[in-house]
């Protein structure tokens, strides 16, 4: 753990970014300490962390009025930039903002959700992701798309299979899901976010490219890479879990491969950033 002097140095620098916001130095040092990774050089980690964003987030969690005003102007304003791309009007954007205020800034069953921001990326991008998720959920509600439970999704995927294929899907479904969940845990935050946006939020490559401000070819390459990594890690996990030859594992993956999109939606849908 870095010395108190090193932490104080970064805390003082972050405070200078917000002259109208006051967080007691010992409070922010403790807040930073709680969010420090354990497995890297701490000074280097602090350099990479968005400590000024964390300073504002800490003050918001403490209910500082100036911090809440700054949050509204600097961070929540991203809603007005990203949601028009989804076709949502001013009223819908206002509702999304209100939902984000409630979920991020109000303590309900525990600390306000903004405390989950650890400063690995910048706060504005983190809120952009949450805004897109809320906007897509609103679109689904407006279009009358009712959620489908897990069993109905899997039954729909298995529809039309031969009895033999349907049997293998049922037989290995549990092992596949465990292996798949394990594979997702091995992904980077970036790759997991891409898969969430594609398979859970339903964004196409062009929309993902716009959100990440990259060329559509780059976004497509990222998605294909993330998808390939999931399949490779799933295969490796199945080899460990099932006492069958690797060639048979490949056959199993081909037979149950049609569950990839469904599994992504189910598993990613249970996780938060």
The pLDDT value given to residue 161: 46
pLDDT (tens place) for every residue of the chain, 273 residues total: 455 677 888 889 889 999 999 999 999 999 988 888 776 677 777 888 899 999 999 999 999 999 999 999 999 999 998 888 778 888 888 999 999 998 899 877 678 899 999 998 889 989 988 888 888 888 877 766 544 443 443 343 344 445 544 555 566 667 767 777 777 778 887 888 887 777 766 677 887 887 777 888 998 999 888 888 877 787 777 777 776 666 666 666 665 554 555 455 555 554 433
pLDDT tens-place string over residues 103-152: 899 877 678 899 999 998 889 989 988 888 888 888 877 766 544 443 44
Identify whether the C-beta of residue 264 lies closer than 8 Å to the C-beta of residue 181. Answer: no
pLDDT tens-place string over residues 129-142: 888 888 888 887 77
The pLDDT value given to residue 187: 81
Q: 13-18: list long-range contacts, CB under 8 Å, 24+ apart.
A: 13/51, 13/52, 14/51, 14/52, 14/54, 14/55, 15/55, 17/52, 17/55, 18/52, 18/55, 18/56, 18/59, 18/67, 18/70
The pLDDT value given to residue 135: 86
Which helix (H) or strand (E) covers residue 48, if one does?
A: helix 42-48
């Amino acid at each position: 753990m870095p010395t108190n002097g090193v932490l104080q140095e970064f805390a003082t620098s972050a405070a200078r970014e917000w002259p109208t916001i006051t967080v007691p130095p010992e409070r922010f040092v403790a807040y930073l300490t709680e969010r420090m990774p354990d497995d890297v050089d701490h000074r280097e980690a602090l350099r990479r962390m968005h400590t000024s964003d964390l300073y504002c987030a800490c003050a918001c969690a403490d209910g500082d009025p100036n911090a809440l005003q700054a949050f509204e102007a600097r961070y929540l304003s991203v809603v007005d930039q990203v949601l028009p791309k989804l076709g949502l009007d001013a009223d819908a954007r206002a509702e999304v903002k209100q939902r984000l205020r409630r979920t991020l800034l109000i303590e309900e069953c525990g600390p306000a959700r903004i405390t989950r921001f650890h400063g690995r990326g910048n706060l504005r991008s983190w809120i952009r992701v949450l805004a897109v998720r809320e906007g897509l959920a609103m679109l689904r509600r407006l279009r009358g798309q009712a959620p489908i439970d897990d069993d109905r999704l899997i039954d729909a995927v298995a529809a039309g299979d031969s009895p033999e294929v349907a049997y293998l899907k049922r037989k290995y479904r549990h092992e596949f899901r465990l292996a798949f969940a394990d594979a997702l845990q091995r992904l980077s935050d970036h790759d997991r976010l891409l898969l969430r946006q594609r398979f859970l939020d339903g964004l196409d490559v062009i929309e993902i490219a716009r959100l990440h401000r990259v060329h559509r070819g780059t976004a497509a390459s990222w998605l294909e890479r993330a998808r390939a990594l999931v399949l490779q890690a799933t295969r490796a996990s199945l080899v460990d879990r099932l006492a069958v030859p690797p060639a048979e594992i490949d056959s199993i993956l081909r037979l149950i491969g049609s569950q990839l999109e469904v599994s992504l939606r189910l598993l990613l849908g249970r996780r938060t950033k």
